[in-house]
């Protein structure tokens, strides 16, 4: 009982201090310097001095009454722009420089936002960043799928990007488990290669991959098809296909992709 009373007394003491703060000029000034913006459905609370950091901009015009801006249902300024990208616009105003997360790929969209908000400095930094990315050398990624039609070699999937090999393996695991026995770990030769050496021909001519205990995994055509679809999905383009006499790249002896 004593503990509850003491807690309530502390709450009253806090409320009294809070109310007295609001009555002071300092509390009023604090409220008057804040603005809430609704940008495309995202709410941002910032100081007026942040929005007016650069003169003759869209945001500076809103704060100083030069530009009429509509309000949302809650009385916040509403700006019909990309709410997610606005965080980068606001951070530029706060920091005075463009700081973007690693892997950011929306330079063109951000350039449009900079143009709309009339931030020349931001527009110049986005342009400079985009130009540097275009000039930066990019490592070419190769993918090769070869079918040697003999039991000692079998089907071989090679790529110089280990992360892509992991994606193919994960996909084959999923397909194999849903149909037959799953992906045999012993066929994963290295981080760059997946190789299936053991297979037999069924009665209709379809070759089936075997585990060492002679249980079926799935057909080589299925494995090739999944690898091809994953390659196209990840942005690879087909360079060459050898011996595609049956009219389908799935039956080709060799496929070469590049990205």
Q: Per residue of the chain (259 residues), what is the pLDDT tens digit?
A: 334 334 445 445 545 544 544 455 554 454 578 999 999 999 999 999 999 999 999 999 999 999 999 999 999 999 999 999 999 999 999 999 999 988 788 999 999 999 999 999 999 999 999 888 877 666 788 999 988 777 667 788 999 888 888 888 888 777 766 655 555 555 656 788 888 777 777 766 677 777 666 677 777 788 888 889 989 988 898 887 766 555 677 778 889 999 8
Report yes or no on whether pTM surpasses 0.85.
Answer: no
131 with 158, same domain: the answer is no
102 in the same domain as 130: yes
Among the candidates 113, 135, 157, a domain finishes at 135
Q: What is the pLDDT of residue 165?
A: 87
Do residue 129 and residue 145 come from a single domain?
no
- Specify whether 42 is located in the same domain as 108: yes
Task: Print the domain residue range for 95.
Answer: 34-135
* 193 Ramachandran zone, left/alpha/beta (phi>0; psi -120 to 50): beta
* Single residue among 84, 113, 135 that ends a domain in this structure: 135
Non-local CB neighbours of 217 within 8 Å, separated by 6+ positions: 176, 180, 181, 182, 183, 184, 196, 208, 209, 210, 211
Residues 249, 161 share a domain: yes
Is 152 in the same domain as 231? Answer: yes
Residue 97 CA to residue 162 CA, distance in Å, equals 36
Do 184 and 240 have their domain in common? yes
Among 175, 170, 158, which Cα is nearest to 257's? 158
The residue among 135, 151, 185 that closes a domain is 135
Inside any domain, residue 22: no
**Could you tell me the CATH number of the domain that includes residue 105?**
3.30.710.10
Instruction: Tell me the backbone φ, ψ of residue 255, rounded to 5 degrees.
Output: -130, 135
Kindly state whether residues 155 and 51 are assigned to the same domain: no
Task: Tell me, yes or no, whether 9 lies in a domain.
Answer: no
242 assigned to some structural domain? yes
Assess whether 150 and 131 both reside in one domain.
Answer: no
Answer yes or no: is 23 within a domain. no
Question: Is residue 153 located within the same domain as residue 243?
Answer: yes
154 and 250 assigned to the same domain = yes
Query: d(Cα 93, Cα 62) in Å, to the nearest integer?
Result: 15
In a domain, residue 13? The reply is: no
Q: Do both 73 and 165 map to the same domain?
A: no
Please state the domain count of the chain.
2
Q: What does the pLDDT read at residue 204?
A: 67
């Amino acid at each position: 009982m004593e503990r509850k009373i003491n807690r309530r007394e502390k709450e009253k003491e806090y409320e009294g201090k809070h109310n007295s703060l609001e009555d002071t000029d300092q509390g009023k000034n604090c409220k008057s310097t804040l603005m809430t913006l609704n940008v495309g459905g995202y709410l941002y609370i910032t100081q007026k001095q942040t929005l007016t950091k650069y003169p003759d901009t869209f945001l500076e015009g809103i704060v100083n009454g030069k530009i009429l801006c509509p309000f949302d249902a809650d009385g916040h300024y509403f700006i019909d722009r990309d709410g997610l990208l606005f965080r980068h616009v606001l951070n530029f105003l706060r920091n005075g420089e463009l700081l973007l997360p690693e892997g950011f790929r929306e330079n063109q969209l951000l350039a449009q936002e900079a143009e709309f908000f009339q931030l020349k400095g931001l527009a110049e930094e986005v342009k400079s960043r985009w130009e540097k990315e275009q000039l930066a050398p990019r490592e070419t990624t190769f993918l090769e799928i070869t079918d040697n039609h003999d039991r000692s070699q079998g089907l071989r999937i090679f790529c110089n990007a280990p992360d892509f090999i992991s994606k193919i393996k994960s996909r084959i695991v999923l397909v194999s488990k849903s149909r037959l026995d799953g992906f045999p770990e012993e066929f994963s030769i290295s981080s760059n290669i997946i190789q299936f050496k053991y297979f037999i021909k069924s009665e209709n001519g379809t070759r089936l991959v075997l585990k060492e205990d002679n249980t079926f995994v799935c057909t080589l055509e299925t494995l090739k098809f999944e690898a091809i679809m994953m390659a196209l999905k990840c942005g690879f383009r087909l360079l060459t296909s050898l011996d595609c006499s049956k009219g389908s790249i799935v039956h080709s002896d060799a496929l070469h992709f590049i990205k």
